[in-house]
Amino acid sequence: MDCVACGSAAVTERPERTARDYRRFRCRECGGGYNERSGGLLNHTQYPSEVIALVALWRLRYRLTLRDLAEMFRLRGIAQATRRSATGKRSSHRC
């Protein structure tokens, strides 16, 4: 894995992992630290990559609505539910 900051291949894997169990790396040239998810499309997402992949798969394969998907993950204690508040605006809360 190359450094996301400088592109160097001189990278060392660190022994500790992130809170979501992603591998951590340190560049020996620029000193930058990053994890295996850094620099990708899913870098700043709230949910693990596996959950996002399941949502995409189930949405396309079984033609489920987003509301159905939210309910399925809410029942499993994984996803964030979206609901309308008393003002009529959408608000989010953790289940």
List per-residue pLDDT tens for the chain, 95 residues long.
Answer: 899 999 999 999 999 999 888 899 999 999 999 998 898 888 888 888 888 888 899 999 999 998 998 888 888 887 554 554 445 555 554 44
In degrees to the nearest 10, what's the CA dihedral of 37, 94, 58, 67? -140
Cβ 70 vs Cβ 92: under 8 Å? no
- Domain spans of the chain, in order of start: 1-40, 49-94
Contacts of 21 (CB under 8 A, 6+ apart): none
Q: What is the pLDDT of residue 95?
A: 44
What's at 37, amino acid-wise? R
Q: What is the pLDDT of residue 1?
A: 83
What's at 13, amino acid-wise? E
